[in-house]
Structure 1
Amino acid sequence: MPVILPVVKLVGAVVLVGLGLLFADGDRVQLVLAGLAAAVLAGWGLRDLVAPVRLAVDPDGITVIRGFAGRRRLPWPAVEAITVDRRTRRGLTAETLEIDAGESLHLFGRSDLGAPPEEVADALRAARPAAR
């Protein structure tokens, strides 16, 4: 993931706080809403800086992000399917990589992967060892 995206999110959080202070004009509700929006945006940006790698693969399985910056190991036998879901809305197509591990489903967008989900899915399928 390019480092510019988390920086833009953090700068956006600062701008939201500044706009809230500038335009709230004594209205606590507007100030609180601007503060909450800024906190969410800052948290999102920090997550991108703290845990930039969302997905890793090796011969034993896949490691996925869990929670804010945790990791979860999925051994290959636990991975039931690797698919790409495509949805079109308002003329825009969104692709999501789906890793189905039975009791859990892990979803990754292009911004999480830093590459098209179809390419990542192909690479994961190629890295998966043949059935033993």
Structure 2
Amino acid sequence: MSGPVLRWRVRREIFVLKAFAVVAFAMLALLSVGDPRGMILAGVGALVAAVLALRDVLVPVRLSADDEGLVVVRGFAGSERVPWSSVERIRVDRRTRLTSRTELLEIDTGEAIFLLSRFDLGVPCQEVADELRSYRTGF
């Protein structure tokens, strides 16, 4: 690898928000001692938020690119190296439903499609797509 390595990671603010959610749900569970359903719901909320925060600690970098190809997060905390020759298409999938708009970076290898959101990348998906395309072609 002679060229630079580009990396996109989860923003710290998102991790802090998830950690705050863990604390808030745990406190809510403690305050709901007399209400078993409320305690269970708050406990499940704390557990889910803790798992999501743990993933941000274990795999903060969700996508990286170098001269050889991409390394993309796969599953909970795994990753997969994808050579540039396997990448068929890089695009941004935009969808609007009611008042909600979502954007996902889509990396298509023919055998697999990797989807990454702005929350995974820390920057807008279109910006990452443009950088990947220019890095891949050298322009």
Q: Structure 1 length normalisation: TM-score?
A: 0.88
Root-mean-square deviation (CA, aligned residues, Å) is 1.6
Shift of 1:73: 0.2
Question: 1:54 touches 1:113 (CA, 8 Å); kept in 2?
Answer: yes
Which SS does the other structure have where 2:61 is aligned? coil
Residue in structure 2 matching 1:18, options 19, 27, 39: 27
Q: Does residue 1:97 correspond to 2:111, yes or no?
A: no
Query: CA–CA distance in 1 between the matches of 2:100 and 2:51?
Result: 27
CA distance in 2, matches of 1:24, 1:121: 48
Would you say 1:59 and 2:67 are equivalent positions? yes
Task: Name the % identity.
Answer: 46
User: 1:85 maps to what in 2?
Assistant: 93
User: How many residue pairs align between the two structures?
Assistant: 129
CA contact (8 A) 1:85 1:96 kept: yes
Moved over 6 A (4+): none
What stretches of structure 1 of length at least 5 have no aligned partner?
A: none
Alignment of 1:1-132 (within 5 A): 1-27=10-36, 29-129=37-137
Alpha carbons of 1:59 and 1:129: their partners in 2 closer, same or farther (altered >3 Å)? farther
- Unaligned runs of 5+ residues in structure 2 are 1-9
SS at 2:54's partner residue? helix
* 2:4 match: none
Contact 1:59–1:129 under 8 Å retained in 2: no
Distance in 2, matches of 1:93 and 1:113, equals 17
TM-score in terms of structure 2 length: 0.84
1:28-83 C-alpha deviation (Å, 9 max, x unpaired): x3322221211110111121122111000011111001122221000011111101
